[in-house]
């Protein structure tokens, strides 16, 4: 509980240069969140992907960071074990992102289900399964809303998201063991971190590689 890891990228002049979140979750959640954050005018479609929207209401597919309180348009995998402890217990896997004129797509492939072309270092996204996230160019042209990106790998401890769901039973996000407040006995994330720093010895990344392909 209390950790907030992410692998993401960002362009200049946020959010106008775009942000893409490939891996993001908090605490013991086991359903990964994919999202993009842009300036006004970028909208995700309602088809072509398998994940579920993370927001409800009129702005559920609005990727404009200012219109969504900085959340952009987010999509959570429907299956468990796509991030965190759940994914690690199954040997983790591969996160893949395709950025093309058709839009931006993202996938998670668990170990044992990674496409052979990825293992052969000759990826062919057209042959892969339905993406978890798809931001189609019809509603959000990448050349308009995304500039050259800088890759970021970081781990926050506490922050707005872990604090905001500290007392929430996170079954919807794959944290079925109960709220962090109940699991730790701490009333806030901050209190937990200040008194239980040793619990974060397992909050680290183990990344085999980053591979970038142009076609």
CATH of domain 3-164: 2.60.120.200
Answer yes or no: 98 catalytic: no
Distances in Å between the Cα of 115 and the Cα atoms of 82, 95, 119, 128 are 16, 12, 7, 7
Answer yes or no: 163 catalytic: no
Residue 142 confidence (pLDDT) above 90: yes
Give the residue carrying structure tokens 């468990």. 80
Domains of the chain, by residue range, sit at: 3-164
pLDDT in tens, 169-186: 888 899 988 999 999 999
- Closest by CA position to 154, among listed 8, 28, 10, 12: 8
- Range of lowest pLDDT (104-113, 148-157, 199-208): 199-208
pTM of the model: 0.95
* pLDDT, mean of residues 125-153: 98
Q: Are 173 and 4 in contact (CB under 8 A)?
A: no
pLDDT in tens, 47-93: 999 999 999 899 999 999 999 999 999 999 999 999 999 999 999 99
Radius of gyration over alpha carbons of the chain, in Å?
Answer: 17
Q: Are 50 and 132 in contact (CB under 8 A)?
A: yes
């Amino acid at each position: 509980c209390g950790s907030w890891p992410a692998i993401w990228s960002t362009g200049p002049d946020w959010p106008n240069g775009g942000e893409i979140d490939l891996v993001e979750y908090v605490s013991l959640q086991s359903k990964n969140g994919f999202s993009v954050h842009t300036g006004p005018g970028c909208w995700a479609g309602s088809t072509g992907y398998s994940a579920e929207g993370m927001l409800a209401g009129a702005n559920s597919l609005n990727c404009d960071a200012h219109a969504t309180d900085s959340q952009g348009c987010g999509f959570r995998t429907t299956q468990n074990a796509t991030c965190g402890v759940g994914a690690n217990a199954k040997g983790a896997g591969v996160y893949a992102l395709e950025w093309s004129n058709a839009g931006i797509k993202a996938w998670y492939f668990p170990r044992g289900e990674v496409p052979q072309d990825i293992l052969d270092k000759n990826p062919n996204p057209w042959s892969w399964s339905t993406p978890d996230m798809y931001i189609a160019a019809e509603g959000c042209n990448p050349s308009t809303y995304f500039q050259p990106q800088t890759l970021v790998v970081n781990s926050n401890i506490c922050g707005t998201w872990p604090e905001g769901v500290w007392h929430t039973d996170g079954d919807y996000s794959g944290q079925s063991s109960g709220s962090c407040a109940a699991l730790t006995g701490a009333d806030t994330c901050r209190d937990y971190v200040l008194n239980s720093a040793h619990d974060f010895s397992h909050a680290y990344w183990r990344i085999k590689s980053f591979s970038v392909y142009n076609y």
